[in-house]
Structure 1
C-alpha cells in the first residue's frame, strides 16, 4: 500500500468557481449535430427533430454552456445559410471536414435546443473567410431589439425577442495552417481588434474571446499571445487555449496530462499578466480553455484524415468517434482538476465535443444513446464543484515520466461552500492503491465515489452500445475517519462536511 497526505486548508481561497468552466462544444462536424443531437424520425425525436434520449444525457452531464458552431467549421461558415425556411436553405460544401452541410440546424434551432437542455450559448464568428462586418451583422441579428433590417429578419424568421447571446469567440485556431483563412499573429490581431471594436459598438455588453494558441507545441506559441493581446488590448475579455492529450506509447506520460495542462495554462497566464502590465490594463483578462479533451490524434491522422482529403463529399461522415477507456476517464478527471486549480484565470472551459465526436455521449442512428467512460468524472465535478476553489498541499509518491520528469502521483483539487468541502482526487498510479490521510480541521469525510477500472475489467475497458461497465461506484469510507483508500488508476470524489453538521 502506498501512502499520501492531502492537507486541506478551507480558508486559503484561490478564486470562486466559474460555472462556465463546465462548458461543452458542438461543432457541425461528423455526427455531432446530425444523428447526434438532431435526428428527425428517431423514436425519441421531438417535433423539431431533436433526440430526447440524447437531450436527457446532456442534462445529466451538467454542462453549463456550449460553444457553437465550431471549430474549424466556423472558418468557412455563412451564418445566413442557417436561418429562414428550412426548405429554402442551401446545401453547402464544408471544406474543413470535407462534408455536405444541409443547414437544417442553424441559429434558431440550436438556440432553442440549448435553452431546452439548460446550456448558455457561446457563439463563434467566422474570421477565416469573412470579417468584422459579417460578425457585426450576426450580432445585430441575434441581439439587437430595434427596427433594423437584421433584427426584423430575425423576427420574420420566428424569434420576436433577441437571443441575448453574451459570449462570442473571435474566430477559431487562426494560428494553424490547417485553418481556413489561417493568418499571422499580426494579421489576426488587427482583424480581431477591428471586429471587437465594431461588435462593442453594436452591443457593448458582449464578452469577447480571442483565439489563442491551438496547442502548447505550436511554433508560434507565446509570441502569438503577446502579439494578439497587444493589438486587441482591453477590447477582449478572454484569450483561448486548446489542449488535447493522448496515450501514444507511454502510459505514464499520458497519466501526467494534467501536469502538462497546468504548465500550458500557467504559461498563458504569465504572458497575459505581462501584457496587462505593459499596457497598463485595469481589466483582468481571463483564459478560455474552449477546446480540451482526450483525443487520439495520431489515430485520426492515420485513419480519418486521408479519406477526408481525398474521398467523396458525404453528409455527416463518421469522424473521430473515439471509444474511451477507464484510463481516459481518470485522465479527463485529472484535467478537470487542473481547470479548477487555475480558477483565478480560467473562467471558461469547453470539453470538446458533446456527442459522437470525441465525446462523453455516443449515439447510433435510429438506435440508442449511451455514456462513455469520460462522462462520469465531468458530470460528478459539474454537480459538486461549487463555491470557492481552495488550496491544497499534497505529499504523495512521484510518478516518473519520460517527457515530464517526476510529477505527483496524486492529482488533487477542492472546492468549498458553507455546506462542506468537495475533494477531487486522481490516483495516477496504474498498479498501486494509495492510502490517503486527510489533514483538515473542522471537517469530516462522509461519502466517496470512484471512477476507474471496473470489477472484472482492465484499464482499457470501454463503454459500448451493448454494455457500459465503467460507472461510478461508492467507495468504502468510515464516516469521520481521517483516511481513505483510493484504488489504483482511479478518479475519486470525497465529500467532507463541517464537524458541527456531522450528526
Structure 2
C-alpha cells in the first residue's frame, strides 16, 4: 500500500504537555511490593527501593505518576500509610494490604525517580473530611496537628503535591462506594471547595466515565460537570483496548476508537460549560490507558484470585506483551499527540508488573516489556508542539471501527526545529510506502528506527528476563529531498510496525 502525509510546520494543534507521558502505581498485585519496593533485593537502597527498577523508570521517562489507585483508593485509609501501619483487607483486589509502603515512601520514591505526583483521594468509602485531612498533611508547612504529624513522621518540608484526583471510576458498580452521577458530582464539588480553601494552588481532576461503553457515558459527564465545572480543572477518561476473537485489524485500529472517545468527551465538556455560561476550559485527563486483556481477567484470573483466599501482593494482571501490543501502544501515543488541544495529561496504567512496561521477579531481575519502547521514544522525542497531519491513500476496513487509514501518524516540532514523526503501519502482512511532505522547513533525516516483528519471530514475540528480541531497530532506505517549499520524506514502513523518524533542520522552519 501507499500513504501520502501532508503537514506544515506552521499548522499547529497545540503544545505537547509534559504530563502527557504519565504513569501509574497502584497497590495492586506486585506493582508496589516486589515491584518498586523490595527490601533485601540486591539492588535496593536503605529505603527498599529497587535500584534496577528505578533505573528502568528513568529510562522510560514518565513525567508524572498517579498514586495510590485506581480501584484500591476507593476503600483506602490514607492514615494507614503513615505512622502506625495496620494490616487491612483490600476489597478492590481481594488482597491483604500490609501498609509497609505508604505516603512518605511514595513521595521519596517519586523524588528519586524524578516524577511529579498525582495523588488520588478516597471518595468511595470516605469523603470531604478525609480528603481535606490528607491535603493538609501533605501540603501545609507546619503548626497544625496534621502538618506537625507529617514532620514528626520524617518529612519536615511539605510534599507540595499539586495534582489531586477526586475519587476513581465512581460510575462503576465494581467500585467501593459506587455512586450515581448526581451523588458523586455533589460530593466532588463540596470536596473541591474545601481543598481549594486549604490550598488554592491545587489542580483538581474529577472522575469521568470508566470507558466509552458505559451505559451512562455522556450523561455522567454532563451531570458531574454541572456540579463541578466551576471548580475542576480536568475530567478523567479511562480507556483500555484488547484483541478480541482474533480480530487483529480492529485491535491495530484502537487509536481510532481513542480519537473518537476524546472528541466525544470534548464535545460534552464544551456543551455543558456553554450551558452553564462559564468562561473556562476543562482539560481531559486520560489518567488510565493501555492495552489489557480484560476478558482473561474477568473470566479466569478474578475467579481464581477469589478462590485462592486473601494474600499479600498476589500476582495480578501480569500481562506479557507482544510485538502487536507494542505497536498498538505506539498508535495510542500517536492519538494522545493528535489531541493535545484537549488532552492535558495522560497516565499509562501501570508502571511495574501489573499491565506494565516493566516486569520484575522477587529477588531476581527487572526487564523491559515490548510496550516499554514506544513509550520511551515518545516521551523522549515528542517535544514542543504537535503538528496537524493530513493522511491520504491506503485504507483498511475493520469490523469494529469501519474504514481507517493504513498509516496512523503524529508529528511534533520542538523549539530547536527538530521534528519527530511517529508512524504506525496497521497492515499486518505488507509494507506501506509513505511520502511525507513537510511544508515550511528544510529537514534532513537524522535517524529512523522501527519497532516491528523481529527476524525469525512472529507478531506474538515477547521479551523475557533472559532476552529482549522486541526492541527498535534502524530503518534503512529513508530519504529526504528539500526544495523551496519544504521537504519530502520517503520511507517503506514494515508490516505491523511503529516507526519514529527524527528530522533535523537544515534551515530555520518558517513557523
Give TM-score scaled by structure 1 length: 0.98
Match for residue 6 of structure 2?
Answer: 7
Matched, 1:191 2:187: yes
1:224-263 aligned at under 5 Å gives the runs 224-249=220-245, 250-263=247-260
Matched, 1:179 2:212: no
Give the Cα–Cα distance (whole angstroms) in 2 for the partners of residues 409 and 480 of structure 1: 22
Match for residue 438 of structure 2?
Answer: 440
- Of 90, 106, 112, the residue aligned with 2:108 is 112
Q: How many residues align?
A: 498
Q: Deviations over 1:131-181 (max 9, x none)?
A: 011000000000011311100000000111100000000000000000000
Give the Cα–Cα distance (whole angstroms) in 1 for the partners of residues 43 and 288 of structure 2: 29
* Paired residues of 2:125 and 2:177 also in contact (CA < 8 A): yes
SS at match of 1:339: helix
1:189-338 aligned at under 5 Å gives the runs 189-249=185-245, 250-338=247-335
Q: Deviations over 1:52-92 (max 9, x none)?
A: 001100000010000000000000000000001xxx41011
Give the Cα–Cα distance (whole angstroms) in 1 for the partners of residues 327 and 62 of structure 2: 19
- Of 339, 350, 353, the residue aligned with 1:356 is 353
* Paired residues of 2:3 and 2:406 also in contact (CA < 8 A): no
SS at match of 1:309: helix
How far does residue 464 in structure 1 lie from its aligned partner after superposition?
1.1
* Paired residues of 1:171 and 1:211 also in contact (CA < 8 A): yes
CA RMSD of aligned residues (A): 1.1
Match for residue 425 of structure 2?
Answer: 427
1:449-468 aligned at under 5 Å gives the runs 449-468=449-468
How far does residue 465 in structure 1 lie from its aligned partner after superposition?
1.4
Match for residue 92 of structure 1?
Answer: 88
Match for residue 167 of structure 1?
Answer: 163
* Paired residues of 1:5 and 1:438 also in contact (CA < 8 A): yes
Matched, 1:499 2:506: yes
How far does residue 39 in structure 1 lie from its aligned partner after superposition?
0.5
SS at match of 2:319: coil
Give TM-score scaled by structure 2 length: 0.96
* Paired residues of 1:73 and 1:94 also in contact (CA < 8 A): yes
* Paired residues of 2:63 and 2:115 also in contact (CA < 8 A): yes
Match for residue 485 of structure 2?
Answer: none
How far does residue 242 in structure 1 lie from its aligned partner after superposition?
0.4
Which consecutive unaligned segments of at least 5 residues does structure 2 have? 482-488
Report the more deviating stretch, 16-25 or 461-470: 461-470
Match for residue 40 of structure 1?
Answer: 39
* Paired residues of 2:67 and 2:117 also in contact (CA < 8 A): yes
The list of structure 1 runs, each at least 4 consecutive aligned residues, that deviate by more than 3 angstroms after superposition, is none
How far does residue 30 in structure 1 lie from its aligned partner after superposition?
0.1
Give the Cα–Cα distance (whole angstroms) in 2 for the partners of residues 478 and 339 of structure 1: 26
SS at match of 1:373: coil
Match for residue 471 of structure 1?
Answer: 471
* Paired residues of 1:445 and 1:494 also in contact (CA < 8 A): no
SS at match of 1:234: coil
SS at match of 1:229: helix
SS at match of 1:136: helix
Give the Cα–Cα distance (whole angstroms) in 1 for the partners of residues 199 and 322 of structure 2: 44
Give the Cα–Cα distance (whole angstroms) in 2 for the partners of residues 10 and 90 of structure 1: 56
Give the Cα–Cα distance (whole angstroms) in 1 for the partners of residues 164 and 456 of structure 2: 46
- Of 143, 152, 158, the residue aligned with 1:156 is 152
Which consecutive unaligned segments of at least 5 residues does structure 1 have? none
- Mark the CA change 1:479 to 1:253 in structure 2 (over 3 Å): closer, same or farther: closer
Match for residue 71 of structure 2?
Answer: 72
How far does residue 479 in structure 1 lie from its aligned partner after superposition?
4.9
